Structures are given as C-alpha cells and as structure tokens.
C-alpha cells in the first residue's frame, strides 16, 4: 500500500536528510546566537539591551515564513548576488530561532543568583569567562527541557523552506505526488517520519525534566 513511497524512497529520504542538515545548522547557530541574545537581554548596558530587545521583539512578532522570504529575496539586493536556498534558509532559521532560544536563555540566566556571579568575579574571572564557564552552562542545563522543545519546533519548521524551492522532504513529496498521484500514502509517510522523530525528541525532553526534578543537582 506504500508502493509510491517505496519506489521513491531514496529520493524522499534524501530530502529528509536536507531537513536534518538544515535543523542542525539552525540549532547550532540558533543556540550560539541565542545564548548571546539572552546575555544581551539581561545586560545593564542600555546600548546592548535596547538593540537586542528590539531585535527579539521584531522577529518574534513576524511569521517565520516571512523571515524566510525576506532573507531570500531582500538579502541579494544588499549582497548583489542570488543566494543558495539552503544557505538562505539556514540564515533565516538562525536569526529567527535565536530570538526564541534567547528568551529561554534569559529565563535561565534569571535563575542564577547575583551572589553566584559575584563569586565568579571575586576570583578574578572576567565577564566573558563568567558568561562562558558559569552563566551559559548553568542556564543551558536548567533550561534543557525548554530548549529541546524549541528544537523540535525548529525541526518541524524546516519544512517551510520549501517555499523558496529548497529540495527538502515536503518539497520532494509534492514533486513525487504530482507524478504518482498517491497523496494519502505520500503525505502520511512524511507525517509519520516527522512524528516519530519529534515524539522521540519530546520523550527525551520529558526525561530531562524528570531527571532535573528528582536530582536537585542544579
């Protein structure tokens, strides 16, 4: 009953690999930039806090699909050359997800007591060292369940990149469907694949949530 899927399996899974790659870039870049954004959002320096806050509020109030279009169509006007859909999508996801990860990191930083930071400073650590070795690792561990949940959303959202012609799995499914005309089985297959990956992800998140509740290590 999944005949159209099996015939085109390598092609479809090749598309899925692109989703995975795009998610990997989005998460690596989004987490890194998000940690910096979170630090900016707790900064006491107005010239750091205000621009970062404007950036966060702006991106969080725009649909992701618009950001994808914007980067794809507007960026080349500034850079002077057309962008590869994958790079364009990766850039869109990093700048978009960084605002969400940034707000999660901000919440994590706010659980850290002022005296813990003072303790780090009192041993001579600089702001950068305190951020890198104390603030970010603690916030990351404490916010792990939320970070995983947001990562799952990011992974699902990678399929939106089909709007700029990226040959990811959903895009490839529409192509296969236009030839084979087997909509139900093709789209069911895609749905199952996403579901399985994301369900496993949410279980992992739950696991860490319970673990951190039991062991009060952090």
Partner 1 sequence: MIEIKNVSKWFGDFQVLVDIDEVVERGQKVVICGPSGSGKSTLLRCVNGLEPYQKGEIVVDGVSLSDPKTNLYKLREKIGMVFQRFELYPHLTVMRNITLAPMKVKKQSRPAAEKKAMALLERVGIPDKAAAYPANLSGGQQQRVAIARALAMEPDCMMFDEPTSALDPEMIQEVLEVMIGLAKDGMTMLVVTHEMGFAREVADEIIFMDAGRIVERGSGDEFFKNPQSQRTKDFLGQILK
Write out the residues near partner 1 by the rule CB under 8 A.
113, 115-116, 118-126, 129, 133-134, 137-138, 141, 215-218
The Cα-based distances of 74 to 69, 77, 83, 209 in angstroms read 8, 5, 10, 41
Question: What is the closest distance, in whole angstroms, from the C-beta atom of residue 49 to partner 1 in the complex?
Answer: 18
Nearer to partner 1, 120 or 190 (CB): 120
CB of 218 to partner 1, least distance (A): 5
For the CB of residue 216, give the shortest distance to partner 1 in the complex, in Å: 6
CB of 4 to partner 1, least distance (A): 50
Residue 40 or 108 with smaller CB distance to partner 1: 108
User: Is residue 151 a contact partner of residue 27, using CB atoms and an 8 Å limit?
Assistant: yes
CB 51 within 8 A of CB 36: no
Picking from 213, 64, 209, the residue whose alpha carbon sits closest to that of residue 149 is 209
| Closer of 123 and 178 to partner 1 (Cβ) | 123
To partner 1, the closest distance from the beta carbon of 142 in angstroms equals 9
CA–CA dist 27, 113 (Å, integer): 28
Print burial letters for 30-54: b (CB count within 10 Å at least 16), e (below 16). Answer: bbebbbbbbbbbbeeeeeeeeebee
Closer CB to partner 1, residue 83 or residue 134?
134
Nearer Cβ to partner 1 (142/172): 142
| Rounded least distance, CB 129 to partner 1, Å | 5
* CB within 8 Å of 70: residues ≥ 6 apart: 92
CB nearer to partner 1: pick between 134 and 197:
134
Q: Are 125 and 133 in contact (CB under 8 A)?
A: yes
């Amino acid at each position: 009953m999944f005949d159209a899927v099996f015939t085109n399996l390598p092609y479809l899974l090749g598309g899925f690999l692109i989703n995975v790659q795009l998610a990997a870039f989005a998460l690596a870049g989004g987490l890194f930039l998000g940690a910096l954004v979170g630090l900016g959002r707790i900064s006491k320096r107005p010239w750091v806090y205000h621009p970062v806050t404007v950036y966060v509020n702006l991106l969080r109030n725009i649909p992701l699909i618009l950001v994808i279009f914007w980067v794809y169509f507007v960026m080349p006007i500034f850079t002077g050359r057309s962008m590869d859909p994958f790079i364009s999508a990766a850039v869109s996801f990093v700048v978009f997800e960084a605002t969400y990860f940034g707000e999660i990191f901000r919440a994590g930083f706010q659980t850290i007591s002022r005296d813990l930071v003072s303790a780090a400073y009192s041993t001579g650590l600089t702001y950068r060292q305190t951020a890198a070795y104390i603030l970010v690792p603690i916030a990351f561990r404490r916010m792990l369940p939320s970070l995983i949940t947001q990562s799952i959303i990011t992974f699902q959202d990678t399929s939106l990149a089909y709007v700029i012609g990226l040959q990811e799995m959903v895009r490839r499914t529409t192509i296969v469907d236009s030839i084979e005309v087997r909509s139900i089985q093709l789209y069911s297959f895609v749905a199952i694949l996403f579901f399985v990956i994301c369900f496993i992800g949410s279980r992992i998140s739950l696991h860490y949530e319970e673990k951190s509740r039991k062991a009060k290590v952090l």
